[in-house]
Structure formats: C-alpha cells, structure tokens
Amino acid sequence: MNLLLKVNSHLLHEQHNKVYNTKEFQERLQIFTENKRKIEKHNAGNHSFTMGLNQFSDMTFVEFKKSFLVSEPQNCSATKGNYRSSNGPHPDSIDWRNKGDFVTPVKNQGSCGSCWTFSTTGCLESVTAINTGKLMSLSEQQLVDCAQDFNNHGCDGGLPSQAFEYILYSKGLMTDETYPYKAYEDTCKYKPDQAAAFVKSVVNITEYDEMGMEDAVATRNPVSFAFEVTSDFMQYSHGVYTSTECHRTSDKVNHAVLAVGYGKENGSPYWIVKNSWGYGWGDNGYFLIERGKNMCGLAACSSFPEV
C-alpha cells in the first residue's frame, strides 16, 4: 500500500470509525481519494468558504443525497405569508446562542431524511426558551412517526411549517427523553399528557422575503428555513458558503435547517445556521451562508411558531 493510501485509510478508519470488508474498502477509498482531490482543488482557489474531509467523505453525492437529504422536492405553500415585519432598525449582527440559554446543542439526524424535524424542534426549543426561560430538547421522533397527515413523510422529508401545524393540531410535542430519536419511521406513540411544548399559531414568512426573515431573527427568535444542498456543501468546513450550482426556487429545496443569527465577514453578509449532521460536520455543526441573495432558495419557505 503506497503512502497516500495509508494516510487516506487511516483517516477513514481512525477519524470517522469506518469499517469495511476488503472489496468495499477499495471502492470507498477510491471515492474518498476523489473527494479529497476536489477539496484540495477548491481550497487552492479563491473562494469565500473552505471545504474539508468529514464523515461523508467516503460517499458519492448521489449516495449522500439518498441517505441525508429529502427525496422529494418540498413545495412550500407560503407564497403570501402572515408575518408582519417590525420595520424597526435591525442590529448589524445577532447570534441567539450568545443572548442566553436559547439554543440546544447540535443534534445528528443520522441516515434518515428527517432534517425537517430537527429544524422544527430547534426552532420550537428556541422560541419556547425565549418566551418561558426554559430550554429543553424536544422529540424529532414524534414528528417522524406521527405528522404524516400534515403532508410530511418521515425519513423521506417534510417541512417545518407543516410540522408546526401538526404540533398545533395535536396539542403538543414530547421531549427527546420521553420520545427518543431512532432515525427510522415507527408507529406513533404520542402521549398528549406528556407533551412539554406547545404551538399557539404558525407564522409563515412570505416566499422569497429574505428581509422578513432578517427582521424575524433580529426582533423575535431563530427561524426555520429550507434550501437546496448541492455537492460542494457536503464537504463544507468554514467561511461563508455560496454556490453557482444551486437553484433559488421553492421546488428545489431539499434540506431544512435553523437560522440562529446573522452578521458580516469581510463585507459579505451571512446567516449563522444550525445544521443536524452532528458536531463533526462544518464549523462544529454550524455553517454560514450568504445573506441577501436568496442563496440556494433559502428564503423560499421560512417559518416559526408562536407559543
């Protein structure tokens, strides 16, 4: 085995706990080496973000999409939202993680297209904490198992706005502790008497109104949104993500996340975003993405609950 193979196999095995049989090892090593080449080429260029090796580096983007992104495009319905902008002046930057105990730690959805549930719980956790002073970790699994009547599809996708409607209708969401996450769809075991968080109404921000999103994050709370993930995002490491590959329309979004703040870096405005791929991905589980240009359709369907 040459030195390059030795180094790469060490990265696969030691850093990401990957174990394969001999045939699969060669295939994975080839994919990993190709991804490594792409990362090095990108990082040698002039870009606003860097890429890096992570737990997905032994996968093709097709495989990654199948396991971690929603399989069907999520058509957002809020062409005309019900959010009323404050029209007040906004701070130049805000980060709800620094304003108090308002954001739960980064979680990991595993190989289930349940990002929409993590965006939903993350937002409801924060809104509840801001309004009551109590931060708790809420159940994604309840949404995976129980929210199908609201046009959600378990591990095959859904939308936070629809999940908030489900929580409103079902009169509550249980905690992670009482209804733990499994990363696969199971029968619904919701117990209303054990509900810990509630939704009074659902606020949808008008489609493509990124200034409305900014106003909500500045004056109210973190906001759930969806966008389109393309191949270079899989290996994102640091910096302000921008893409020339992705679309900016609501019919292409395939991943839901949580905007916890915004700011500016070297004159580039960005969103601070909590992801659900664990701490080992990106910037300790977070990423920055360009703000003000509806990058990858991020302003296509944003929402939050009132409690």
Catalytic residues: 115, 255, 275
- Listed in sequence order, the residues at least 6 apart from 13 whose beta carbon sits closer than 8 Å to its beta carbon are 19
The three-state (H, E, C) secondary structure of the chain, written as one string: CCHHHHHHHHHHHHHCCCCCCHHHHHHHHHHHHHHHHHHHHHHHCCCCEEECCCCCCCCCHHHHHHHHCCCCCCCCCCCCCCCCCCCCCCCCCEEHHHCCCCCCCCCECCCCECHHHHHHHHHHHHHHHHHHCCCCCECHHHHHHHCHHHCCCCCECCCHHHHHHHHHHHCCECECCCCCCCCCCCCCCCCHHHCCECCCEEEEECCCCHHHHHHHHHHCCCEEEEECCCHHHHHEEEEEECCCCCCCCHHHCCEEEEEEEEEEECCEEEEEEECCECCCCCECCEEEEECCCCHHHCCCCEEEEEC
